[in-house]
Amino acid sequence: MLELDRGQVQVMLRSMGEPAYRADQLWQWVWSKGARDFQEMTNISKALRARMEQEFSLGRPRIRALLTSVDGTVKFLLELSDQEQIESVLIPEKGHYTQCLSTQAGCPMGCIFCSTGRMGFRRNLSSGEIAAQILTARDYLREQGADPARLRNIVLMGMGEPLLNWEAVRRGLLTITDPLGLGFSRRRATLSTVGIRGRLQEFGRSRLAMLAVSLHAPDQDLRRSLMPGAAAWEIRDLVGALEEYPLDPRERITVEYVMFRGINDSPAQARELVRLLSRVKCKVNLLACNPVEDSSFQPPGLERISDFEQILRSKGLTVTLRRSRGQDIMAACGQLYVEVKQTSPGDRGDMQQVKDHGRMTNGSLNNC
Ligand code: SF4
């Protein structure tokens, strides 16, 4: 059932002789009210409920493991119907939550600082698997006695490159932003991408969510060495597309720049970044990388970050310094997957609560 879009539900119910409004009722039960059982749908006839039960499932990704950070960040390891596993992260903010969704199991882009990139690509997620991560998080909040309506922001920044799975992402975003579906405002939904030629423009035309672009370097050579999969689109051409990207008057593109000590954190590189972005309507998110196991990447010192930030600000760029969340629970995409695979050889199917994990890893929630 979660794989159908609203139009398909309408066509299906019409062919069963049901009135047009029935599709909206069913759709609201599935997505807005988060029904787990057709029998909950009390304004739908018993006969139709029985028929739906026979023909469809409301199955959603199963929580295989759950890690809670000391800062309140919750990381779900979710198992899909074919036993493939993905991560989804729930981040508490002031008065609300943000959820980071995965769009692929693994990722083919091969960014060398990213745990998911090291996993390689497993498969694309379906539109239902993308949107249902939100149902799982809402269920969790309900179980914890929290108001699921406080989950207000979503970011497509988890495992995978969303624009390589554009059709499923597009359909998932339609459900996510549908007022009768999951009901998120488009301004509270952000898609983070390394930039895929053609798809970026298509996404811009769709107006389905805000755009964040992972740059991480001010020049093509460095970017290619850090993000080999992204190098097919030359950085100047990518930035040229950002200059033309359709935005409402008050909107800006978010440029993500993860800082690595001695690699992309020099004053000269800050000036180069300023020049590169001089005609892009954007704000820059700086985030110091965190140490990753089996990796030589280190975060720059505070002074180095501050100098870099000041150069950007002094040239008129809007800059935010992002805080890492969930460092103690291996919040980097892919890390949890690897760990659970190693420690849970059987299909235990139970929920695992791990606190104060204590291993230092890449705490960035956004690998992209
Ligand atoms: S950083 Fe993003 S695009 Fe790069 S390998 Fe990781 S998940 Fe894929």
Does residue 333's CB lie within 6 angstroms of at least one atom of ligand 1? yes
C-alpha 77 to ligand 1 mean position (Å): 18
Average pLDDT value for residue range 264-270:
98
Helix (H) or strand (E) holding 122: strand 121-124
Q: Is residue 110 classed as helix, strand or coil in its secondary structure?
A: coil
Average pLDDT value for residue range 284-292:
85
Give the confidence band of 339 by pLDDT, cuts at 50, 70, 90.
Answer: low
C-alpha 143 to ligand 1 mean position (Å): 32
d(CA 174, CA 155): 14
| pLDDT for 331 | 56
Instruction: Give the CATH number of domain 6-55.
Output: 1.10.150.530
| pLDDT for 361 | 30
Give the confidence band of 333 by pLDDT, cuts at 50, 70, 90.
Answer: very low
The string of pLDDT tens digits covering residues 129-163 is 999 999 999 999 999 999 999 999 999 999 999 99
Phi/psi of residue 315, nearest 5 degrees: -100, 15
The string of pLDDT tens digits covering residues 34-62 is 999 999 999 999 999 999 999 999 988 99
Of residues 100, 282, 333, 368, which has the active-site annotation?
A: 333
| pLDDT for 337 | 53
Higher per-residue confidence, 342 vs 106: 106
Give the confidence band of 105 by pLDDT, cuts at 50, 70, 90.
Answer: very high
Mean pLDDT of all residues belonging to the chain:
89
C-alpha 159 to ligand 1 mean position (Å): 7
d(CA 207, CA 252): 13
- State the span(s) of the chain assigned CATH 1.10.150.530: 6-55
Residue 87: active-site member: yes
Average pLDDT value for residue range 211-229:
97
pLDDT over 60 (residue 354):
no
DSSP letters for 228-275: GGGTTS-HHHHHHHHHT----TT--EEEEEEE-TTTS-SHHHHHHHHH
Nearest CA to ligand 1 atom 1: 368
Q: For residues 13 and 22, is the Cβ–Cβ distance under 8 A?
A: yes
Residue 333: active-site member: yes
Does residue 366's CB lie within 6 angstroms of at least one atom of ligand 1? no
| pLDDT for 288 | 92
CATH superfamily of 62-354: Aldolase class I (3.20.20.70)
Does residue 107's CB lie within 6 angstroms of at least one atom of ligand 1? yes
Average pLDDT value for residue range 230-251:
97
Does residue 111's CB lie within 6 angstroms of at least one atom of ligand 1? yes
Residues 6+ apart with CB under 8 A from 143: none
Phi/psi of residue 68, nearest 5 degrees: -115, 125
d(CA 295, CA 218): 22
Dump strand ranges (E) for 137-238. 151-156, 189-193, 210-214
Helix (H) or strand (E) holding 67: strand 62-68
Ligand 1 binding pocket mutation candidate from 102, 104, 107, 115 (most atoms within 8 A of CB): 107
- Nearest to 215, CA basis, from 199, 189, 234: 234
- State the span(s) of the chain assigned CATH 3.20.20.70: 62-354
The string of pLDDT tens digits covering residues 55-104 is 999 988 999 999 999 989 999 999 999 999 999 999 999 999 999 999 99
C-alpha 28 to ligand 1 mean position (Å): 33
Nearest CA to ligand 1 atom 5: 117
pLDDT over 70 (residue 233):
yes
Does residue 116's CB lie within 6 angstroms of at least one atom of ligand 1? yes
Does residue 368's CB lie within 6 angstroms of at least one atom of ligand 1? yes
The string of pLDDT tens digits covering residues 305-328 is 999 999 999 999 999 998 777 766
Q: Is residue 158 classed as helix, strand or coil in its secondary structure?
A: coil
